[in-house]
Chains A and B, each alone.
Chain A
């Protein structure tokens, strides 16, 4: 019997230790817990690598913040921010009016066009007419989902919603969807990979700033003006002192900051 009591006591101690409270000074940066090359993806040693990781390191160093990467499911990343599971989102999240109702954004830190890809053998254009009758794959709660639903939805056979971009790409390769709409850089990374050999870029979609937004920003909770000012200043500094250009060169041959 004594051993049982000891076990229970140990359990309580372990339990409370696990509930231990971490230091409050850290800034928890929410990443989408999925491979999203070339921006954020986990590597074989469990570390996160990619352009946005370098970007995060640069602005955190500039703003003197202790940033900790916290992977969160993409479709729950905004609730995670508002319920304080994380303090900011660096996840290629576009600044849109719809999102601005719930959260705040820093200034944009990159902006790229939206593309549509499909099987090489399948010839069509990235227009509502070209995608008529096709099954289109998009990632849930993205600008691409909203755009595809509005412009392609009426004509397309189906808009399939995936938890992660990677799974949408995978199903395009498997032939379960005919087209995938997403950020052109992320699609480019897929097309260059082995699995992406099946497919090619069908074109860029016609811009609609109301849905596609004004570029990608750091997602922040409303009412945290302090952090926002710091991040905006840091983005401005790394843009002007060449840091931004330096780490971008490792990944891109063009300027991702956009117009």
Chain B
């Protein structure tokens, strides 16, 4: 087997070096001037009017990110597992699922689910009287499901590698201790695999964060949608988008810091 090639070149935080080298101070001064110019010469008078809505949008983005990642990860575990040890048909099914999701653009999947299913629904009027309809007529379930599926497919591929990479000896030792298959899975295999997958999790979650604004194209209100609203109300080209970039930059930074904290809490002693 060749080396696992599916790991995405995700965000890797820069190494911390001394911030106070002379050229750094110079660069910081230059950036400060640029930021000052941007604040001074561009139009920001719209900001107070949208402050509340922006905060709400950021919250929606984070909620979307959090739940789609958690549920996606829970799905990724069986998807990874059946590819390593499951029966052939199930393994093929999981592999096919991963290939299809990873081989097509997320935007297309989103539109297929929302507008494609929407066109199917209009053919079945009886659906509208069912108890599911209040959910099916909203946009966020489609955004959530698409994001969740995408996370499951990408992380499923990582989990496959992680399950396969747990040393045989550890599993044999567990068996020798008289553990049943399920106990062995619960106590040894799964925790060891998750431990191995953890370093990629930060990167995958950042990628997931960067995918969330796509749901705005199917009328879900997130921070991107609020900024689109600002763009349309004010006809400004750059200012709202620059603010949006800054917001995502901060969110990514917080996410990476949170994962670093999490990883520091878990003892590592990788062979």
Contact = CB atoms under 8 A, between A and B. Distances in A.
Nearest to A142: B232
Given A160-B219, A163-B217, A175-B128, A75 B119 contact: no
A160 B137 CA distance: 12
A50 B122 CA distance: 28
B235 A101 contact: yes
Contacts, number: 49
Nearest to A135: B137
Give chain B's interface residue range (CB within 8 Å of chain A).
10 to 19
Contacts of A145: 232
B115 A140 contact: no
A78 interface: yes
Contacts of B235: 78-79, 82, 99, 101-103
B119 A170 contact: yes
B180 interface: no
A151 interface: no
Contact of B122 (A78, A102, A162, A175): A175
Contact-size category for A = 20 to 34
Nearest to A145: B232
Interface string B209-228: 00000000101000001001
A78 B234 CA distance: 11
B18 interface: no
Among B121, B219, B228, max chain A CB count under 10 A is at B219
A173 B122 contact: yes
Contacts of B119: 170, 173-174
A141 interface: yes
Contacts of A167: 115
A173 B118 CA distance: 8
A82 B137 contact: no
A83 to B, nearest CB: 6
Given A161-B219, A175-B137, A75 B232 contact: yes
8 contacts: A79-B235, A160-B139, A160-B219, A161-B229, A162-B219, A170-B115, A173-B122, A174-B122
Interface of A: 75, 78-79, 82-83, 99, 101-103, 140-141, 145, 160-163, 167, 170-171, 173-176, 195, 198
By Cβ-Cβ distance, the 3 closest A-B pairs, closest first, are A174-B118, A141-B232, A102-B235
Given A163-B217, A174-B137, A175-B137, 6 more contacts: A79-B237, A83-B237, A99-B235, A140-B232, A161-B219, A170-B119
Interface of B: 115, 118-119, 121-122, 128, 133, 137-139, 217, 219, 225, 228-229, 231-232, 235, 237
